[in-house]
Amino acid sequence: MSLLTVSNLTKRYPRGGKSIAAVDDVSFHIDPGETLALAGPSGSGKSTIARLVLRLIEPDAGRIEFEDNDFLALSGASLRARRARLQTVFQDPLAAFNPRATVARVLDDPLRIHGIASRSERPRRIAALLERVGLAAELASRAIHEISGGQRQRVAIARAIATKPSLIVLDEAVSALDVSVRGQILHLLLDLQRQERIAYLFISHDLGVVRAVAHRVILLDAGRIAESGDARAVIDAPRSAIGKALLAAAPRLHRTRP
Amino acid sequence: MSRFRRFLRTPEAVAGAIILAALIAMALSASLLFPGDPQAIAGPALLPPFQDWSLPLGTDRLGRDVLAELFHGARTSLAVGLAAAAAALVVGSVVGTLAGFADGLVDEVLMRITEAFQTVPSFLLALAFVSVVGPSLGIVVIAIALGTWTGPARVARAEVLSIRERDYVASARAVGMHPLAIAFREVLPNALPPVLAMSSVIVAAAILTEAALSFLGLGDPNRVTWGGMIAEGRAVLRTAPFLSIVPGIALVLTVLGVYLAGEGVVETTAVRRGLS
Ligand SMILES: Nc1ncnc2c1ncn2[C@@H]1O[C@H](COP(=O)(O)OP(=O)(O)OP(=O)(O)O)[C@@H](O)[C@H]1O
Ligand SMILES: [Mg+2]
């Protein structure tokens, strides 16, 4: 049984008098512990799918089943409780945190909201979370804007894993980081996946990264699925026009091809 | 500390701060320097200022000590001004945040109410409220706040509307935080700076409104107020103009001081925010 099943998902936005489908009849599934990548040109609907799956916006049509439940049927307190199992890491780690927050407060929120640890127990849990993502426990007292971009993204990952989710949506989660830091964060994500069997919905425009971390990939074009399949197979030899165009635009990958 | 130094380098702000400090000192020392009832008779009626050094600013029509009244009046002005402004800012921020954060019906209803309050001139609103409910210090505070909360509410709403689209609000939702907790813990504190920037104007206006109400005889009758003193002096304006002029000058200086000091604080903090 798959962890997440999305069927015929559609989201329209009004533009210039008519409505344009940002996501058009998209269906896919993710298995436990699996990484499914969404790739495609800018504006192809990747972030919209991420926000729909996270229930940050509502679809116009389609179904989302998560952990064998109708995810779209949830609302209010039951939806908030279920969010513990479905977490996210955003692209810009600075924008994703309250500018006034400290590291400790950011990590305290999920533990408190989902009743995971008592007040007295939380500082220890926060220290353990920081350690788990490779940060020093002393960082807890720092303000979010006082740590580096790479550290911030690690804190974002720590917040995401605090509630022991089964799926994390990563929307361009490594795109804003410079190359050496990106490698470390990807490594951390793979390590977490191996140990906790977390599934990822991994959104990236970088086919090299997708090929390295994803099991399967979906190529999107103007809100529709253009091509999908095994990540290496699709990226090494795309059949769709958009896949070929994306590959041609990725010079590093192109060069390594035989 | 550099913020404080920048404040000190602005002469208007320093002048405002000095006036404000003098006013606060007057309000705090009123019952020490002038114990007893400031409305009690202290000497001969209509004694001009600078004649008798035990009554330096002279006496009014009933022989009450003008200086004592001035000190006790500072207390009322400051208390009412600050309390009314604080009430307006709190109510305005809460209403604005709720309206901006809850879309649809709640926003619509709250903004209609805000507009309804805004269409009535705030002084008329205060006047009507006090004349219906009856004058007392608390009622005067509420009456003034009633006409002033709409400004902060609109500014807070506009700010919340822009903040709620930010990623960190989406993060808070994704974490499972309750919408009210998001509105008041995550969004409101970040929406406050432009709302607080209005506080100097609101305090100054509240002090003036209080004086105007008292002038019309709608102030708390058990307290000395500057507006009441001016009204008192009006009857003998030709023979003893100082009775109206002294509290009038105090009022003008106070409003000026509050405004200048407040603007100074806003300016220096805004500059700091702009640099960071
Ligand atoms: N709130 C919105 N209102 C109107 N149109 C929107 C909105 N959000 C997205 N769109 C439109 O939907 C389409 C898909 O946008 P989306 O953000 O999902 O693209 P994306 O694949 O994530 O692109 P990128 O790689 O640039 O992040 C775009 O055409 C965009 O303009
Ligand atoms: Mg995007």
Q: Write out chain B's pLDDT in tens, 276 residues.
A: 577 787 888 888 899 999 999 999 999 999 899 888 888 888 888 888 888 888 888 888 888 999 999 999 999 999 999 999 999 999 999 999 999 988 789 999 999 999 999 999 999 999 999 999 999 999 999 999 999 999 999 999 999 999 988 999 999 999 999 999 999 999 999 999 889 889 889 999 999 999 999 999 998 888 999 999 999 899 898 989 999 999 999 999 999 999 998 888 877 776 445 443
CATH of the domain at B225: 1.10.3720.10
Residue A4's region, left for phi above 0, alpha for psi from -120 to 50, else beta, is beta
Instruction: Report whether A203 contacts A38 (CB < 8 A).
Output: yes
Residues 6+ apart with CB under 8 A from A173: A89, A90, A91, A153, A156, A185, A189, A202, A203
Give B177's contacts in chain A (Cβ within 8 Å).
80, 109, 113
Nearest-CA distance B191 → chain A (Å): 12
Give B104's contacts in chain A (Cβ within 8 Å).
none
Q: Which domain holds residue B107?
A: 2-275
Task: Determine the 3-state secondary structure of A23 from DSSP.
Answer: strand
Q: Which of A11, A47, A204 to mutate to test the pocket of ligand 1 (most atoms within 8 A of CB)?
A: A47
Give A95's contacts in chain B (Cβ within 8 Å).
166-168
pLDDT of residue B270: 62
Number of other CB atoms surrounding residue A131 within 10 Å: 12
CA atoms of A174 and B209, how far apart (whole Å)? 57
Number of structural domains, chain B?
Answer: 1
Residue B32, exposed/middle/buried by CB under 10 A (0-12, 13-18, 19+)? exposed
CA atoms of A40 and A244, how far apart (whole Å)? 11
Q: Which of A11, A24, A48 to mutate to test the pocket of ligand 1 (most atoms within 8 A of CB)?
A: A48
Nearest-CA distance A87 → chain B (Å): 7
More confident residue, A30 or B192: A30
Residue A176 has pLDDT above 50, yes or no: yes
pLDDT of residue A16: 86
Task: Determine the 3-state secondary structure of A10 from DSSP.
Answer: strand
**Which tens digit of pLDDT belongs to each residue from A79-135?**
999 999 999 999 888 899 998 899 999 999 999 999 999 999 999 999 999 999 999
ipTM of the assembly?
0.91
Interface check for B178 against chain A (CB to CB < 8 A): the answer is yes
What number does CATH give the domain A1-85+166-258?
Answer: 3.40.50.300
Rounded (10°) angle between helices B66-101 and B137-148: 40
Q: Which long-range contacts (CB under 8 A, 24 or more apart) does A248-253 make?
A: A250/A206, A250/A207, A250/A208, A252/A208, A253/A207, A253/A208, A253/A211
B168–A110 C-beta distance less than 8 A: no
Give A144's contacts in chain B (Cβ within 8 Å).
none
Nearest-CA distance A83 → chain B (Å): 6
CA atoms of B263 and A179, how far apart (whole Å)? 46
Interface check for A87 against chain B (CB to CB < 8 A): the answer is yes
Burial B106-145 (b: 16+ CB within 10 A, else e): ebeebbeebeebbeeebbebbbebbeeeebebebbbbbbb
A81–B171 C-beta distance less than 8 A: no
Nearest residue (by CA) to ligand 1, atom 2, is A13
Output the 3-class SS for B59-113: ECCCCEEHHHHHHHHHHHHHHHHHHHHHHHHHHHHHHHHHHHHCCCHHHHHHHHH
Task: Determine the 3-state secondary structure of A98 from DSSP.
Answer: coil
The Cα diameter of chain A in Å comes to 58
Mean pLDDT of chain A: 93
What ligand 1 atom has the least distance to the C-alpha of A223? 14
Residues lining ligand 1, Cβ inside 6 A = A 13, 22, 40, 42-48, 205
pLDDT of residue A255: 45
A95–B168 C-beta distance less than 8 A: yes
Question: Cα angle at A47 between A101 and A81, to 5 degrees?
Answer: 55
Burial A9-34 (b: 16+ CB within 10 A, else e): bbbbeeeeeeeebbbbebebebeebb
Nearest-CA distance B173 → chain A (Å): 7
CA atoms of B206 and B210, how far apart (whole Å)? 6
Neighbouring C-alpha atoms within 13 Å toward the C-beta of A105? 12
Q: For A162-186, what is the mean pLDDT?
A: 93
Tell me the Cα Rg of chain A. 19
Return residue ranges of chain A for CATH 3.40.50.300.
1-85+166-258
Percentage of chain A with pLDDT > 90?
A: 88
Instruction: Report whether B206 contacts B81 (CB < 8 A).
Output: yes
Number of other CB atoms surrounding residue B98 within 10 Å: 21
pLDDT of residue B1: 56
Nearest residue (by CA) to ligand 1, atom 18, is A45
